[in-house]
Amino acid sequence: MISHVRVAFGTGVVLGLWKGQLAAAPTTAHLLTYYDGRCSANCKFCPQARESSSDPKMLSRVVWPRCELEKVLDALNKNQSKFERICVQAVNYPGVVDDLCELVKKVKGVCNLPISVSCQPLTAGDVERLAAAGVERVGIALDAATPEVFDRIKGNGAGGPYTWPGHARALNDARAILGKQVSTHLIVGLGESELEIVQTIQFLHDRGITIGLFAFTPIAGTSLAGRPQPDVVRRR
């Protein structure tokens, strides 16, 4: 039974869990599964990676403080009108799907906002479990735009458990279950060409998968901390 969850800093400000100044208040409440340890994956850009020495409160550039789940649920119940949706993100660890299902059910018990889950590749059975718990959308991040970059950044070449075919299969399985309510992420600046990332965007779009496009950001303590950020014009 889960007792804690991580909350993105801006989300916590809107929920009244702590004080802070926001240039723009988020319209999505971002939560992250809490696990007392590192992710079992080893994505080179990620502060949560198994071999990362980054602050474990970090995910991307954002700080995610640990909070008591009951406090977060109470704050969501009182402040749900300030958000349009909830996104629950997950690190990879044994039992994470059980935790996600429990967390989603508890969140659905206090508010009626649509919930998406962003996580590692899942089996079709696990996607069905999440849908039964109340998840409307599932995101499985490719991150890399080509199989070669994928292997080097988050696959076997990085000491990670993932494969390009495994991610593609999981996206297809989720698409078959959830229809167009399936998403992925791509990161600009991991070594791909502009043509390659555009081709992958088209490939995914043709299959009805929504793409979120991000720019690579170097984070201290990760394997790619010394890699430069891509030019903003290229990302746009």
- 233 or 162, which is more confident: 162
How is residue 158 annotated by DSSP? G
Mean pLDDT of 121-128: 97
Q: Is the pLDDT of residue 125 over 90?
A: yes
In this prediction, residue 236 carries a pLDDT of 80
User: What are 61's two structure tokens?
Assistant: 């550039």
d(CA 228, CA 103): 37
Using CA atoms, how far residue 40 sits from 30, 32, 43, 46, 51, in Å, is 21, 15, 10, 12, 9
- What pTM did the predictor assign? 0.94
d(CA 188, CA 181): 23
pLDDT, tens digit (0-9, with 9 covering 90-100), for 168-197: 999 999 999 999 999 999 999 999 999 999
Residue 120 half-sphere exposure, CB side, CA atoms within 13 Å? Answer: 21
- Indicate the helix (H) or strand (E) that contains 138: strand 137-140
Q: Is the pLDDT of residue 57 over 90?
A: no
The verdict on domain 4-235 having CATH code 3.40.190.10 is no
pLDDT, tens digit (0-9, with 9 covering 90-100), for 138-165: 999 999 999 999 999 999 999 999 999 9
In this prediction, residue 61 carries a pLDDT of 84
In this prediction, residue 31 carries a pLDDT of 98
Averaged pLDDT score across all residues of the chain? 95
pLDDT, tens digit (0-9, with 9 covering 90-100), for 91-116: 999 999 999 999 999 999 999 999 99
Domain boundaries along the sequence of the chain: 4-235
Q: What letters, b where the CB count within 10 A reaches 16 and e where it falls short, cover 80-96?
A: beebeebbbbbbbbeeb
Q: Is the pLDDT of residue 60 over 90?
A: no
Mean pLDDT of 217-231: 94
Confidence band of 233 (pLDDT split at 50, 70, 90)? confident
